[in-house]
Structure 1
């Protein structure tokens, strides 16, 4: 009896050749935008002490109650695969005294996160995020900078007209507490009409009811107390200035009074970039201000604001809109076809060209085969050009080059001319 093949864990996916080129394109595009704004990379472990997330995210959130991958190590210490990146970033900044004296930091990170959710298109149990966190700046200008930065990224990726910005402010802790009491009082009177999740959240995390996807619950919220009636003056002024800054730079937005975000540590500004191109999974980037989190985790009171974007979901959006440049889908520029006893000469030419043209991506055909079969492999590789080397070319110190993506004629160049020609093409 044959042994059963070993499969990847459900909701944890391989990224295969062909797919990985698109990921690298997306990652490099994001990095170029972050570099342009002067942000620095930070890398944290994928495993943290469980109480870090309980203290930061909140013990009664869905993430902590139902979705975290938590286990005891051999010393009996409770550890958790990180479900999000902000808490780890704050922990690292505190531990290494990057923000101990309210220093200003602009940081970003990239990597896998883990949540035990029902896998669906664009949402997985191991998923990847790019996150940005800033510390030490209370001015709404930094909130605006993050939004301007994401706006520039959408333009660079070619999806600006397919995403919309939603904004809200959820005020101070005191304002939220006052509003929460009023909301619970109202919803308790219609509890039996709420969806099952909202009934549970009424006793644990009532603000999350505001972004319920249940249509009946949303209709009940039409008569609920208005969050903005409970806002403190400081939060109102902060929000007004943020909107004025966005107006000044021409970034369109919609104020959504029911936008609250799902994590306990948010305060004041919250925002989401959403799209209608991915069905129900519409949020592609989300964040906000969390001025109290550093103190909550044992540090000094430190203003902070950040965002995270789901890489799977954004790559899915790029693919569905067909905006990925053709050259991204291949990792080869030149495919070297060799005929006759010229393997040594072919390797020498490949080495010479790679040194002369540092950005050149050149792959040699290995394994023999006639000219027709080698040219077929060259075409299948996705390369832009086939470089053809035979015994006659070797004797003459030349090689032939043929475009594989248009009808340009084949031409023959000496080796020095070839390097210069490729440099111009790339």
Structure 2
């Protein structure tokens, strides 16, 4: 039997994994500059964490979750997104307490799981990088978090980006708009897709998010939620727009954008890329928004929240398509060539000393002849080759060769084990 990975998953192999490490390291560095700290939550949660927070009319809950009952008959879900689990951790660990400075700013990265048709940049096991901010209602939080997302994507080499924003308002504004939207859509009920018919009275805003072409044609003439914002909601959205202007961040407003999750209110946003990966069409690479009621929904106090998430697979797809140069160094500092049994034993001590001095080092483990070992050193792009034979072991002296210039020097073993940094700098300087 030929074993294969499950459909919708991928093996991230050497040569590719370094790109992932680069993106993750870039995220950590950018987020650190905004004073965010990492949080790590379980890859599986209780079903109710997502059914209560994401919304029982969302595609995630109704169609896409990997859920099952474990041996204790607990209803478990492989996490389909990051926010709900982070909010659950915030509530359970009482990060809202006075001993935790506000706002609480965290980021996460890791695998998520959704059962959907695999396609380019969208897998059943996929990876997200996301952030959450708890404890402040200020529009400055919205704008600085959006700015951080833009900052991170630009650090990853993305060029042609577009920011799209909208406001879903507070509860009062949404309730007023909800009824207006139902009144508009009901005469078109028979023309709506089955999913939109199901959502019409449960969560009509989700109809605006439909990918069905007939639904999209109908909602094109729907009333705008921006016309139903009350004074509080209007003031918040106005402040967001003003602050984006202060930072010289251009944006567009899309009144039909609602995002796919039910917990959002006030500001929502998407950052879109016009990458070659998408054939010159703008596609979303990052999205998020404000969710002021989610902590209380999961048993905590009323807590303002704001966050975003982005898919790592899609981000790397864009970086590859747009030929973004990633500063990934595959070069090997030192390759040790051993000729004879005595040299093999001496090699072991030297290579460990070199590694402990902070250098990358490799040696032969397949009993190759000297010629084969030198070929391997070339394939691995070794900068320096250290050669040991019986005579070198007897004199306790090694030969080191600068592979770029061909220059060679001889160095006592003791100098290699006590100060290899100086030895390495000397051989690299040799001409």
* Deviates most, 214-223 or 254-263: 214-223
Counterpart position of 1:116: 115
Per-residue deviation, 1:347: 2.5
Question: Within 1, Cα distance between the matches of 2:300 and 2:42?
Answer: 20
1:345-424 equivalences in 2 (<5 Å): 345-356=346-357, 358=358, 360-381=359-380, 383-391=381-389, 395=395, 397-403=397-403, 408-412=405-409, 414=411, 419-420=421-422, 422=424
1:226 Cα offset (Å): 1.4
Contact 1:334/1:361 (8 A) holds in 2: yes
Structure 2: distance between partners of 1:422 and 1:311:
37
| C-alpha distance 423-325 of structure 1, shift in aligned 2 (>3 A) | farther
Q: What is the 5 A alignment of 1:333-348?
A: 333-341=333-341, 342-348=343-349
Which residue of the partner structure matches residue 37 of structure 2? Answer: 40
**Residues of 1 paired with 2:241 and 2:132: CA distance?**
20
Distance in 2, Cα, partners of 1:137 & 1:353: 50
Would you say the 8 A contact 2:289–2:307 is kept in 1? yes
Decide which moves more: 276-285 or 234-243.
276-285
CA contact (8 A) 1:112 1:128 kept: yes
| CA–CA separation in structure 2 for the residues paired with 1:191 and 1:69 | 31
- Decide whether aligned partners of structure 1 residues 192 and 17 sit closer, same or farther in structure 2, where only a CA change above 3 A counts: same
Is 1:131 equivalent to 2:133 in the alignment? Answer: no
Q: Contact 2:209 / 2:258 at 8 angstroms: preserved in 1?
A: yes
Q: Is the 8 A contact 2:22 2:328 kept in 1?
A: no
Give distance in 1, aligned partners of 2:374 and 2:385: 10
Q: Which runs of 5+ in 1 are unaligned?
A: none
Q: Residue deviations 1:76-126, cap 9 Å, x none?
A: 221211111111111111111111459431111222211111111111111
Is 2:9 the counterpart of 1:7? no
1:289 maps to which residue?
290
CA gap of 1:366–1:298, structure 2 versus 1, over 3 A, is: same
Superposition pairs of residues 296-315 of structure 1, within 5 angstroms: 296-315=297-316
Per the TM alignment, residue 203 of structure 1 is displaced from its structure 2 partner at its CA by: 4.1
Cα distance between partner residues in 1 of 2:205 and 2:378: 56
**Aligned in 2, Cα 1:302/1:283: closer, same or farther, shift over 3 Å?**
same
Segment drifting more, 366-375 vs 91-100: 366-375
User: Does the Cα contact within 8 Å between 1:210 and 1:259 map onto a contact in 2?
Assistant: yes
C-alpha separation in 2, matches of 1:234 and 1:6:
58
Please list every run of 5 or more consecutive structure 2 residues that lacks an aligned counterpart in the other structure.
none
1:197 positional shift: 4.1
Residues 331, 382 of structure 2: 8 Å contact kept: no
CA distance in 2, matches of 1:46, 1:34: 22
The alpha carbon displacement at 1:272 in A equals: 1.2
User: Cα offset for 1:331?
Assistant: 7.2
Could you tell me which residue of structure 2 aligns to residue 106 of structure 1? 105
How many Å separate the matches in 2 of 1:158 and 1:401? 37
Q: C-alpha separation between the residues in 1 aligned to 2:182 and 2:71?
A: 43
SS in 2 for 1:187: helix
* SS of residue in 1 equivalent to 2:220: helix
Equivalence for 1:257: 255
Deviates more, 1:258-267 or 1:102-111: 102-111
